[in-house]
Structure 1
Amino acid sequence: METAEEIVLSLKDLRMSYAEKEILKGINLDVYQGQIIGYIGPNGAGKSTTVKIMLGLVEGYSGTVQVFGRDISDGDVEYKRRIGYVPEVAEIYDNLTAREYLTFIGEIYGLSSEQAEHKAAKLMSKLGLGEVYDTRIASYSKGMKQKVLIISSLLHNPDLLFFDEPLSGLDANSVMVVKEMLAQLAAQGKTIFYSSHIMDVVEKISSRIILLTGGEIVADGSFEELREQNKEGTLEDIFNQLTGFHEHRTIAEEFVAIVQGKEES
């Protein structure tokens, strides 16, 4: 890893339990400036919990979490101004227009209303939404809402981005734009934490892939390094090997047999 770069995120022996069930079992991780981290793992692996802890949304963990060199447990939330976040399931004030919503979000992050409004209008236009800038978000399609969320996460020019399934609902052209945009942001020194179940996208965009399963990191490296270590072809193959999931073909065959009324009684 390029250890000469600034460490943006540092987790030391991060542990978290809910109702006596250990969700995170001692995560140790240093993330460097300009990396696109593909953060992957099966449902329940602890991915969202890790991200929410780093965002300061979840307390009660043990271990140390440092963001931009500061321990986030010190109560100073100033670091959040340098973070952008697109959650997998987002609550969006959809009775507002995009102009109202994005101006509001921009002001929260310290932009003036004029700055936020001007910047948001340009970004909406670039993503093909200029004509609906003053339309209520409630009337938007899923993909249009997703674009608004992506814009809201970038409006204040953050240094650290957390994207959880950011391509959800986007059309093919928009997917290409967002993937290229992430690459350009990383090249300019932004650090991106990218979580998705779409393995081929993670494989293509990530400079470093971290696989979490059962609350522990079981793989950490570039795609090429992971492929070399695990002697598997695609990231999906590596994922299945390391998480112990090999039944996908059997389950699919049995599912299709039931659909076609051919299952054994």
Structure 2
Amino acid sequence: MLQIQQLTKRYGEKTAVDALTLTIRPGEIFGFIGPNGAGKTTTLKCCCGILQPDSGEVRVDGISVREDPLAAKRKLAYLPDNPDLYHYMTGIQYLDFIADIFGVSDAARAERVRGYGERFGLTGALAQPIGDYSHGMKQKLAIIAALLHAPKLILMDEPFVGLDPLAAHQLKQTMRAFCDTGGAIFFSTHVLEVAEKLCDQVAIIKNGKLIRAGSMAEVRGDASLETVFLELEGGADER
């Protein structure tokens, strides 16, 4: 579903992502772990076409993000760590705006808004201006917006930040259900316990370089994910 091949992105003399290669398959929840500044957000932005890599290739369901960005973006959704929403709109106006962009039919959008709105407890607030929303409510609205056009791939940057325990539980269930029907999710997180319980595959990145990747069992071994992460963070870079 998502193929990242030798992805490299530089900011001046700093290499933020260094020849990263990963494959996220249909049905997988893939966790992307690393300290602040490791290159996680840059990778996600390159995957969805917000940033152009200096070299390498990203393909979404076989479509090159560089060569055909519009077709690739139709198949994905991107949830940033701090969603930039239009505060003058109401929640439902924003969702209708997103649905219009992706050509979602009236019937489909009504069904999805109703279902996801109830799931995340946001239905009663959709008539309110987004400017009145709490951070958690904005995060819920952005999650619903990401799901509206039924993408095949969802890219998420720290999706659990700002969510209360119930909303976090609902998001985890939604992510699992999405992948169980053939979708794929690639998300960054600092919450190692969430990654350990939720992810099918995981990759650890440090200073823009891939340190370790594989199934949760392969990466974790007999230790906890936290122990593995701390050992790798404190040790020398590996390939």
In the superposition, the TM-score normalised over structure 2's length comes to 0.92
Q: Which whole-Å deviations, capped at 9, do the CAs of 1:224-251 have from their partners, x for residues lacking one?
A: 21222xx5x3211111111117xxxxxx
1:103 and 1:120 in contact (8 A); partners too: no
Query: Which amino acid counterpart does residue 42 of structure 1 have in structure 2?
Result: P
Inter-partner Cα distance in structure 2 for 1:17 and 1:194: 21
Query: Which amino acid counterpart does residue 230 of structure 2 have in structure 1?
Result: N
- Residue in structure 2 matched with residue 191 of structure 1 by the alignment: 184
Asked whether 1:242 is paired with 2:235, we answer no
Match of 1:17 among 10, 17, 29: 10
- State the shift of 1:223 in Å: 2.1
Highest RCO, 1 vs 2 (Cα 8 Å, sep ≥ 6): 2
Q: Which whole-Å deviations, capped at 9, do the CAs of 1:112-142 have from their partners, x for residues lacking one?
A: 3564345324421332122222111111111
Root mean square deviation of aligned Cα: 1.6
Asked whether 1:139 is paired with 2:116, we answer no
Inter-partner Cα distance in structure 2 for 1:188 and 1:75: 26
- Residue in structure 2 matched with residue 250 of structure 1 by the alignment: none
- State the shift of 1:189 in Å: 0.8
Inter-partner Cα distance in structure 1 for 2:199 and 2:146: 19
- Residue in structure 1 matched with residue 163 of structure 2 by the alignment: 170
Cα 1:109–1:43 shift into 2, 3 Å = same
1:94 and 1:137 in contact (8 A); partners too: yes
Cα 1:60–1:161 shift into 2, 3 Å = closer
Q: Which has the larger radius of gyration?
A: 1
Match of 2:35 among 32, 36, 42: 42
- State the shift of 1:71 in Å: 2.1
In the superposition, the TM-score normalised over structure 1's length comes to 0.84
Deviation >2 Å, runs of 4+:
112-119
Q: Tell me how many residue pairs correspond in the alignment.
A: 235
- Residue in structure 1 matched with residue 101 of structure 2 by the alignment: 108
- Residue in structure 2 matched with residue 258 of structure 1 by the alignment: none
Cα 1:41–1:206 shift into 2, 3 Å = same
2:16 and 2:208 in contact (8 A); partners too: yes
